Amino acid sequence: MIKVFLCEDEFVVREGIKNNIDWASAGYEFVGEASDGELALPLIRKLEPDIVITDIKMPFMDGLELSRVIRRELPSTQIVILSGYEEFDYAKQAISIGVAQYLTKPISGDDLLGELDSLREKILKSKEENALKEKFKKEMEENLSREKSALFNSLVSGNCSVTELLDRAEKLSMDLSAVWYNIVLLFIKSDHHNIEEYSGSSVTIEEKINEIMSAMGCICFDRDLEGKAVLIMDDSEQSLVSRQNDLIARLEEVFAPYGHIRYSGGVGKAVNRLSMLNESYEDAARALANRFFTTKSGFFEAAKSDRNEPDTKEVFDMGSIDAKRIDKSNVSRFLKLGNLDEIPFYVSEFIKSVGENAFESYIFRQYIAMDVFFAVSGFVEELSSKKQFDGIAEVTKESLESVESIKSYIAQIIEKAITYRDSIATNRYTEIVEDAVKYIEENYSDEELSLNQLASHVNVSPNHLSTIFSQQTGQTFIKYLTEYRMNKAREMLKCTSMRSSEISEAVGYKDPHYFSYMFKKTVGVTPTNYRGGKDNEEEYE
């Protein structure tokens, strides 16, 4: 029903309007009343009526003042002004404010109802349009996520101007204006299942994380297979650190009930320029690399020291070496779970945490190189793939010449192994996406078909499926599904005598208005015009 609110200072007039019209039978809901604008305003804010009927001359706050506030705060609310004053100046002010009707008193209940009925059609059409737009916006959220991911990559690459970054963010309804910034990287996996596997708890955690981000005013970016990135902003460094600590505490509360979920977070260093955000990202990535040196969940902060290179002239001390960091299982863990982009951060953290001054020893460099070589070789053999692998470079004298050469050697052989791993995974991804596409073709008529439902069918997480689906098809899931449905609808419009409403349901849209909206949005014309003739059914334009 259309909600109506009445603001009138004359008691007799107010009671007459309220009681002499059968609001419910006429399709309206009389939701409230007030004797002046000041009393009416908080009620209107709370009730959000579709129509406000208000007298123009009232004590405390008159109808024109009330109308100005309503137009600013509730632009979709229609305003009907009642006035015993016929001066043109009042009408002119009302028109400039944007009131829908300006009526003079006295007015009968039937006449008032007639004026409201003309507004109702406008309100219902506007509500329908907004509902369709909101539904479309919700369905396009996957596309929005991809655009946000692309923006994050630009933010941390340092290759875009601040003006360009702000403009792109504004188009995504994001405000990046702040004094201080920091980045927290978050990586989540299940200890009981393969990292790609779908689970209901992962969806629940995702929803709770999104709620926290929204409540705290943080911006969360999906980094595809690499987890999430959180941008924290504030007006002072102290406030930012406080917000950052609060965020970490809340996230740890989310993960606490899920013992089988392992999470790792990398916390960067705060910077006071948007153009320096790449430094925060690099620090957060280095901190996140520590997850490969432990089996426990937790957040790792960037080192408190400055970014200056350590003094490598320090005397070699065997006691400074952390033997746990040399364990081949740490390398194996990275080979299984790490990404190509993380290699430089992992190698840097590996060498620094073992004891960088120890690498001044040629014998120690030789030991580490051989250890990593055997770990990588074993990992490649475990993959047991028919796909050809041409081997990894063996340790040479040149690769042991200096700390930098050993870093380069370790990075190169790890990169080769992960590239090989990913090439094998791509073959599996092809099979997964082929299965997903087949499922879409068989179930496109199901209005409830969603990314989560599809992910459950192919047994991978929704985020993972979204990423590999885009990589394999060049389209997001929702864009692929929409285009498939629209192509089927076009075929039915040209090759059958089915009505548009029947075609709508056949391709997965129970609401024919929304189907027509989507068809025009996708194809450029309405279903009726596409068919080339008019039928008798009503169609959303």
Residues 6 or more apart whose Cβ sits within 8 Å of residue 449: 440, 443, 481, 508
Where would I find the H helices in 173-236? 200-216
CB contact at 8 A, 44 and 52: yes
Ordered structural domains, the chain, with CATH? 2-128 (3.40.50.2300), 140-304 (3.30.70.270), 309-424 (no CATH), 444-541 (1.10.10.60)
* Closest to 312 in 3D by CA, of 324, 320, 301, 304: 320
| Residues 423/425/427/428 CA torsion (nearest 10 deg) | 180
Q: Which amino acid is at 415?
A: E
CB contact at 8 A, 266 and 288: yes
Instruction: Compute the distance between CA of residue 187 and CA of residue 189 in angstroms, rounded to an integer.
Output: 7
List the pLDDT tens digit at each of the 541 positions of the chain: 789 999 988 888 888 888 888 888 888 899 899 988 889 999 999 988 989 888 887 888 888 888 888 888 888 888 888 877 665 566 667 666 777 777 777 777 788 888 888 888 888 878 777 777 777 766 667 677 778 888 998 999 888 889 999 999 998 888 998 999 999 999 887 654 444 455 567 778 888 998 999 899 899 988 866 688 999 999 999 999 999 999 999 999 999 988 878 889 999 999 999 999 999 999 999 899 888 888 788 999 985 433 334 344 444 454 555 555 556 677 888 888 888 888 888 888 888 777 767 777 777 888 888 888 888 888 888 876 666 666 777 777 788 888 888 888 989 999 988 888 888 877 778 888 999 999 999 999 998 898 888 988 888 778 778 888 988 888 889 889 999 999 999 999 999 999 988 999 999 988 888 888 889 888 888 898 888 755 444 444 4
For 120, list phi and psi in degrees, rounded to 5: -60, -40
Where would I find the H helices in 222-313? 237-255, 277-288
Residues 6 or more apart whose Cβ sits within 8 Å of residue 368: 326, 354, 359, 406, 410
Instruction: Compute the distance between CA of residue 225 and CA of residue 122 in angstroms, rounded to an integer.
Output: 47
